[in-house]
Each structure stands twice: as structure tokens, then as C-alpha cells.
Structure 1
Amino acid sequence: MYERILVATDGSALSEKAVQSALSLAKLSGATLVALRVIPRYPRSYLEGGATVDISEIKRIEAQWTAQAQEQLSAIKAEGKNMGVTVKTTIAKSDLVAESIIATADKQEVDLIVMASHGRKGIKRLLLGSETQHVLTHSGKPILVLR
């Protein structure tokens, strides 16, 4: 069925549902699970009137985000081990979340991408965007979307 499954998580309760489904599917199919967390870069504003943050503070914040992501991925790996599922973890640092998911799926040669979607409609979707929608329309891989 599947040999490698990618699950993208942002640490939210909704993405936890995707993680649980991906772990169950990986166990059922005997697949390896690749757990991905994309961390955005800290925004830097040099525009007139924009507050700038010291570079050491930016590095500290980004290191904190990386540590939190690693902690979440380690928990997924431990849960996979308890279920008998091999879990590989990866962190991508990019503001382009959907592109990072697609690139990781291609690099890891996965058979399926599992993601959560908030299911926003109308103006909320327009304003907030949809990383899931972007992956759906730009990836050549099969995608399982959970809500």
C-alpha cells in the first residue's frame, strides 16, 4: 500500500488529528512515517516606523521555536515507537510552508502526504490563505486531508 508517509504538523490540536491518523495508517500499511514541522523565520522589518529587533534576540527566538518543534517531533517519534512504527523527523526553516512540505515530500520520496485543514471559507480563507490548498494544487503526490 504505502511505504513512506509524510505528515505535516504545526503543533495545533487539528494537526494532532492528522498525526494520529498518519501513525495509524503507517502501522496498518507497514510504512515509515516522516514527521515534518516547518518553522517560519522571525520577521525582520527595516521599513520606516517598523520596530527592529536585535539579531541576538531573533536568534534566541528562532532557537526556541526549533527546540519546541524538536520536542513535538520527538513525542511523535516516541509514540510511533510504542506503536511499532518507524518515524523519521525533519524540521524545515522557511516562510514558504506549502513549498517546504512539497519539497520534503519529493526529497523523501513519500507515497502519501497527510495534512490537516481548518476548513476556512470565504473571506477568512482569502485573508489567512491555505497551505493545504496550495499543497493540494501544486503537489503530484496523493494527499489525505483531515478536518
Structure 2
Amino acid sequence: MYQRILIATDGSTLSRQAVDTGLELAALTGAQVIALKVIPRYPVSYFEGSASLNPNNRNIAAIEKQWAESALAVVEEVKATAEARGVKAKAVTKVSDLIAESIIAMAKKHKCDLIVMASHGRRGLKRVLMGSETTHVLTHSHIPVLVLR
């Protein structure tokens, strides 16, 4: 049924539940798993026309390095869990501010035939202000998407 499943995670509790479901599905279908965490860049300005921070600042570089190490730990944990369940897995991180686009692009790059991810269920003003990466993936992906809440 599925040959390769991309599991997008941010390491949150809800995301871990989606990881478990994705790994169960991979075990049932014999699919390989690509565990992905997209790492945002440190914001250098918040509003149009505001003063921007120097992106070469050592503190920013240290924070971005910490985010990258944390992301790698998250996907390596997914990989280890998958392999303990007998599922072949690969751990991948991607640095980008375009989270949804990166998820879709990585699924295409790795020739995945399913994307599994969690929905954080934001409603009302929070959803309008923060947007929904899951909704963006759902509406722009040509690959089937399994969303867990």
C-alpha cells in the first residue's frame, strides 16, 4: 500500500501521537519512514520597517545551533523508535521559515506516498494570527496527508 511515509514532527505531545500512528501504519504496510523536523530561522525582524537584528550575531548563531541539535534529537528518537519496531527509518531536518512548503518538498524529494502529521487544533483568532501549517500542507500537497488530532 505505502512504500515511504514522511512523518512530520515538532516534538510536541500531540506530534508524538501522530508519530506513533505513522509508525504503526508503516509497520503494517512495510513502508519506510522519513522522520522530518523543519527548523525555523531566528527572526531578525518582527514587523515591516522595524529595526532588524544582525543575523551574524553570535547569540543568534548559538540559538539556531541549539534548535538544530534539538531537532536532530527529535528525529533521531523517531528513527530509533521505528527501528525498534522493525521499521526502516531515516532522520531528516530542514532549515526553513516555510514549514508547510518544506514538508511538501521533502516528501517529494524522498518520493513519499503519504505524509503523516498532527493538527494542533488552533481555533478562532489564534488560527488567523498564527495560521496552520497543517492546513497549508493539506491544501497544497499532491501527496495524501493523514492528519491526527
TM-score tier after normalising by the smaller chain length: over 0.9
Q: How many residues align?
A: 147
Query: What pairs up with 1:24-39 in 2 under 5 angstroms?
Result: 24-39=24-39
> Which deviations, in whole Å up to 9, do the C-alpha atoms of 1:61-110 show, x marking residues without a partner?
11100111111111111111110001111101000000000000111110
Report the counterpart of residue 103 of structure 2 in structure 1. 101
Gaps (5+ residues) in structure 2?
none
- 1:20 aligned residue: 20
Partner of residue 70, structure 2? 68
Q: Taking structure 2 as the reference length, what is the TM-score of the superposition?
A: 0.92
Within the candidate set 130, 133, 144, 2:132 is matched to: 130
Distance of aligned partners of 1:49 and 1:145 in 2 relative to their CA distance in 1, 3 Å threshold: closer
What is the rounded CA distance, in whole Å, between the counterparts of 1:86 and 1:117 in structure 2? Answer: 25
Q: Report the identity percentage.
A: 55
Q: Could you say which residue in structure 1 is the equivalent of 2:40?
A: 40
Residue of structure 1 in register with 2:114 after alignment = 112
Q: Distance in 2 between matches of 1:83 and 1:49?
A: 50
1:10 is matched with which residue? 10
Gaps of 5+ in 1: none
Distance in 2 separating the partners of 1:77 and 1:122: 35
Task: Give the superposed CA RMSD.
Answer: 1.7
Distance apart, 1:122 and its partner CA: 2.4
Question: Which stretch shifts more, 43-52 or 76-85?
Answer: 43-52
The residue type paired with residue 84 of structure 1 is G
Give secondary structure in 2 for the equivalent of 1:58.
helix
Give the alignment's TM-score, normalised by structure 1. 0.93
> Runs of 4+ in structure 1 displaced over 4 angstroms?
46-49
